[in-house]
Amino acid sequence: MARKIRDADWLTEAAVDAQPAEPCWLCGRLLGKTVDRFHPIPKSRGGRDTVPVHPICRETIDANFSASELVRHAESGTALTDNESVARFVKWVANKPADFHSATKAGR
């Protein structure tokens, strides 16, 4: 009979450390331990693809864009950072650590 490993935290931490760091879709910083999967085209509008983002970046997108606005951005090919408040956020968060988190205010 196989033994059950009681404390396998070191296994999961090693697996996370072994994965190459991936950049955030919105801000371009390397991702930390917590990663959200974001639909650039909302699922309610037929979107299937997801991109990795920081939780704080996800909150910023949700605070500044409706589903229809996200679809318009995707169809026109314009970056979300063309929005003034999102551009200010990306500039502000650029030097923060990967797992930085703070409350996000709506920019509307």
As a whole number of Å, the CA-based R_g of the chain is: 17
Indicate the pTM of the whole model.
Answer: 0.73
Neighbours of 85 (CB within 10 A): 14
What per-residue confidence (pLDDT) applies to 101?
80
What per-residue confidence (pLDDT) applies to 57?
93
What digits encode the pLDDT tens for the residues 26-63? 999 999 898 999 999 999 899 899 999 999 999 999 99
Only one residue has tokens 């296994």, namely 11
CATH of span 21-93: 1.10.30
Q: What is the amino acid identity at position 40?
A: P
What per-residue confidence (pLDDT) applies to 62?
93
Domain ranges for the chain, please list them.
21-93
Confidence of residue 71 (pLDDT cuts 50, 70, 90): very high
Strands of 1-108 (E only): list them.
36-38, 51-53
Strands of 3-105 (E only): list them.
36-38, 51-53
The CA distance from 37 to 53, in Å, is 6
Q: What secondary structure letter does DSSP report for 37?
A: E
Q: What secondary structure letter does DSSP report for 17?
A: H
